[in-house]
Structure 1
Amino acid sequence: MSDLIISRTGHVQIIEINRPPHNYFDTSLLRQIADAFEAADEDRNLRVNLLCANGKSFCAGANFTGNQPTTPEGRRADSRALYDQGLRMFRCKKPVVAAVQGHAIGGGLGVALAADFRVATAKTSFSANFTRLGFHPGFGLTVTLPELIGETRASLLMLTGRRVLGEEALRIGLCDVLASEERLRDEALALAQEIAESSPLGVQSTRETLRLGLVERIEERLERELQEQSWLRETADFAEGVRATAERRSTNFQAR
């Protein structure tokens, strides 16, 4: 698992994403994270997962570089494989605390919202920037973001693609603890350890009740997200969005 650094302290498993500086994900990385979550589920001595990252960003989204599928069918299959691993992350039985530094953007926001709780800094930037790319939100964000911050506010963030910094994120419920940059990992670990001090069976049972039906809702919505992403990926507007982002310029969308 070269893309992850896994350790433990007490009853907490620490999973550190190791693709600096921005920790872009692909199917392989999500599979490794899901594997680590499932390993914790099978280990009675582990009670909580701490998900963190090495680098400037927690996760700046999906990796669109390298060898990408060249046909619409191949791109759809690639996205489905990626989301299958994301669903495995949501199915984990033990709580997840995320230490979120730098950017959690696009699919990276989806990864952050797969955690039960998020610890951030004043400079942490959260963004569902899909529409700025001529795209559709994915990673189950059309379920997880509204449930976390409300339908109207989630719609505002997804339709504008605007970025939310740490203090506002805390105010609207996008993160749960605000820490200094120097103390981010320590504060996240302290929260994980506080949860780990509770009855492990009680925590797991309570969490399961609170999340009842969540995975099923995400799985159903992912089908819609994948369908919309598949046709939008073939549009001129999506190509323009990707180019404009790479070139650091304003977009010129044509609705085609």
Structure 2
Amino acid sequence: MSTLPNLPNLPDIGVHLQGHVAVVELRRPPHNFFDAALISGLADIFEALDAEPACRAIVLAAQGTAFCAGANFARNDDAAVHRSPRAVNPLYHEALRLFACAKPVVAAVHGAAIGGGLGVALVADFRVACAEARFSANFNRLGFHPGFGLSVTLPRLVGPQRAALLFYTGRRVGGEEALAMGLVDLLVPQDQVRAEALRLAGEIATSAPLAVISTRRTLRAGLVEAIRQAVATESAEQNRQFGTEDFKEGVAAMAARRTPVFTGR
């Protein structure tokens, strides 16, 4: 295990190298809520790892009970209702940098990946999870349009019909159901999630790195541009809906852990 001295030193994100695999760890336990600063820092690290020859694959993991429970509305200025209706959420500009990463990523999802946290999990090429993991695209349950490029990445992964079901209902699916629908690639006991993600990333890292990167580029051709167009639409819809009574009710209901009562206003 070794450190990478040329990487940004960020208090909420840890990085170390195990062989040719970089382990990137979110450190905002227990829920790892994000804001634009965290996603920007994560993108800075991914870009630095792209330039690091010793790194051939990345494991994205997290401390705490959740992998990532989404955006923290209390801290996230980017969700402000004062943004211009046509402005793209600055957080999504940072997310685009994650999708532009050239090296393969394996997400170690040991707990909940909710809302934008699901978006973070879908940045990865592969997801290793456990039965206790929970996945939810709960945006509509909060009163607004999905974001973080999920309108592209989720149907691309599980198909448009399953994606629509997850979006419209906001339902949570466990690890076993997520595996069955293709949202997860490997399911292991919870205490083995990170180790299995490291094993998979290590297996990838034994292949020729230039060949892996070029193959990945072929397989993901057009993805970043599709997400760039998607986040423009997602942002425009969200900007309109952040000013609605339904959005206020959705956030209040989430905070109170109750069923929201929407009025369509």
Structure 1 counterpart of 2:165, which letter? L
Structure 2 counterpart of 1:214, which letter? L
Distance 2:163 2:107 in 1: 20
Cα RMSD for the two superposed structures: 1.6
Q: Deviations over 1:30-66 (max 9, x none)?
A: 1111111111111111100110000000000001114
- Between the two proteins, the alignment pairs up a number of residues equal to 256
Is the alpha carbon distance of 1:70 and 1:151 closer, same or farther for their aligned partners in structure 2, counting shifts above 3 Å? closer
Structure 2 SS opposite 1:219:
helix
**Once structures 1 and 2 are overlaid, which stretch shifts more, 124-133 or 61-70?**
61-70
Is the alpha carbon distance of 1:151 and 1:2 closer, same or farther for their aligned partners in structure 2, counting shifts above 3 Å? same
User: Displacement, 1:144?
Assistant: 0.2
User: Displacement, 1:119?
Assistant: 0.4
Residue 195 of structure 1: aligned partner: 204
Contact 1:69 1:75 in 2 (8 A): no
User: Displacement, 1:81?
Assistant: 1.3
Q: Which runs of 5+ in 1 are unaligned?
A: none
Structure 2 SS opposite 1:97:
strand
Structure 1 counterpart of 2:195, which letter? D
Say whether 1:170 aligns with 2:179: yes
Residue 81 of structure 1: aligned partner: 90
Residue 219 of structure 1: aligned partner: 228
User: Displacement, 1:73?
Assistant: 3.2
Query: Of residues 141, 147, 154 in structure 2, which corresponds to 1:145?
Result: 154
Contact 1:69 1:78 in 2 (8 A): no
1:174-253 equivalent positions in 2, closer than 5 A:
174-253=183-262
Name segments (4+ residues, structure 1) moved above 6 Å.
Answer: 75-79
Say whether 1:94 aligns with 2:94: no
Contact 2:129 2:193 in 1 (8 A): yes
Q: Which runs of 5+ in 2 are unaligned?
A: 1-9
Distance 2:59 2:153 in 1: 19
Distance 2:187 2:20 in 1: 23
User: Displacement, 1:159?
Assistant: 0.5
Structure 2 counterpart of 1:137, which letter? P
Distance 1:84 1:238 in 2: 23
Query: Of residues 28, 42, 63 in structure 2, which corresponds to 1:19?
Result: 28
Query: Of residues 111, 130, 135 in structure 2, which corresponds to 1:126?
Result: 135
Query: Of residues 5, 8, 11 in structure 1, which corresponds to 2:17?
Result: 8
Contact 1:122 1:180 in 2 (8 A): yes
Distance 1:67 1:186 in 2: 32
Structure 2 SS opposite 1:243:
helix
User: Displacement, 1:71?
Assistant: 6.1
Structure 1 SS opposite 2:199:
helix
Structure 2 counterpart of 1:23, which letter? N
Contact 1:105 1:126 in 2 (8 A): yes
Structure 2 counterpart of 1:12, which letter? V
User: Displacement, 1:8?
Assistant: 0.6
Residue 29 of structure 1: aligned partner: 38
Distance 2:77 2:226 in 1: 29
Contact 2:78 2:89 in 1 (8 A): no
